Amino acid sequence: MPVRNDAFVLGNCLDDIAKQSFEDFELVVVDDGSTDETPQMLDKIKRQDTRVRIIRTSANGIVSALNTGLAECKGDYIARMDADDRMEKTRLEKQLEMMVENPDLDLIGCRVEGFTDSGTFPESGIQYQSWSNSLISHEQIERDLFAESPIVHPSFFATRELFNKIGGYSENPWAEDYDVILRAYGKGAKFGKHPEILLRKYHAPGRLSRSEAMYKRPAMFEAKTHFLLEYGRLNKRRGVLIVGSGPTGRQAAQSFENREVKLLGFVDNRQGPPDRQVKNRPAWGFPDLPSAEFLEQFRDVLIVLAIGDATGQRAFSELLQKNCFVENLDFVRVIYNWLPASGDSA
């Protein structure tokens, strides 16, 4: 658990950890240059609980702190936690049980519930939480891998072997937790999620994911395009077709252009003149879904679904599958507004 100047929230988190029903664990806390009362609080809990180990460093940042902690961990399984979040007393017990019973899994999370002390829970947080909680199996997580980071970081519970295999956390222009998931996937990792809410995620206006550029839209799309290329999704394809010409589609297009990937054009539901363009590329508008004949001319490209409307996203995905386009091979979704259909896990 990395900490820096977390004295105002640390007490509750440490109390949750101390009360875990599974007791055979070590708590490795990396104090990343705290200047408030955090060091004194940690010293106090260390005197009370021999399972607590504290490593103090200068303020080197979250990735450095995480890697320092990984190097100090001794167990076969490693669980993440953030100082401002809360966990159910059975979290470690239930996640460990799931890993032991499913030895093919390398990294799991759990369902989460957000909370705030500001009185207003952000709509974006509600949407992300609903989407993330709908992904339980490896197949569901894999399907939405390029929509957004599918497992909430402080819910990570993984094998030490996995972290060793991928070389720990990495410094990149994008979020370190999403990077871990994408690199682990490239190494063949299997994911899962405990179906119970075992973590409560704190939402504060100044939290890192809102203030740091790497967590914002451009950086996340840099990660998505980087790994789509690394995984060979554009091998032997003549470029990309963006479905959706709003902010998400334009950002996706920019990220591909940054890597000199040919952008063939945009598809959306807006009618326009035959020569309509978006970002100096053709923009084909269909009031209804395009025909099979139209789609066939893009059989050898990667189709990127960036539709902001969940219903429209689902309809276009179903159209592509009906015409034998394979998800995460011939087309990918790069936005997480996907709402579970009736009967899906939710």
Q: What is the pLDDT of residues 161-179, one digit of tens each?
A: 999 999 999 999 999 999 9
So where are the chain's domains? Answer: 2-215, 218-333
For residues 309-317, average pLDDT: 90
Q: What is the pLDDT of residues 188-206, one digit of tens each?
A: 999 999 999 999 999 876 5
Is residue 212 predicted with pLDDT exceeding 80? no
pLDDT at 335: 92
pLDDT at 205: 66
Task: Provide the CATH topology of domain 218-333.
Answer: Rossmann fold (3.40.50)
119: left (phi over 0), alpha (psi -120 to 50) or beta: left
pLDDT at 340: 47
pLDDT at 56: 97
Please state whether the predicted TM-score (pTM) of the whole model is above 0.85.
yes
Three-state SS sequence of the chain: CEECCCHHHHHHHHHHHHCCCCCCCCEEEEEECCCCCHHHHHHHHHHHCCCEEEEEECCCCHHHHHHHHHHHCCCCEEECCCCCCEECCCHHHHHHHHHHHCCCCCEEEEEEEEECCCCCCCHHHHHHHHHHHCCCCHHHHHHCCCCCCCCCHHHCEEEHHHHHHHCCCCCCCCCHHHHHHHHHHHCCCCEEEEEEEEEEEECCCCCHHHHCHHHCHHHHHHHHHHHHHHCCCCCCCCCEEEECCCHHHHHHHHHHHHCCCCEEEEEECCCCCCCCEECCEEEEECCCCCCHHHHHCCCCCEEEECCCCHHHHHHHHHHHHHCCCCECCCEEECCCCCCCCCCCCC
pLDDT at 345: 41
CATH 3.90.550.10 correct for 2-215:
yes
Q: Which two tokens stand for residue 99?
A: 């890993």
Tell me the C-alpha distance between 135 and 139, whole Å.
9
pLDDT at 326: 95
Q: What is the pLDDT of residues 98-153, one digit of tens each?
A: 999 999 999 999 999 999 887 677 777 888 899 999 999 999 999 999 999 999 99
pLDDT at 343: 38
Q: Which two tokens stand for residue 138?
A: 């490896």
Instruction: Label residue 29 exposed, middle or buried (CB < 10 Å: 0-12, 13-18, 19+).
Output: buried
Max intra-chain CA distance, the chain: 74
- Tell me which amino acid residue 182 is: L
Tell me the C-alpha distance between 10 and 209, whole Å.
19
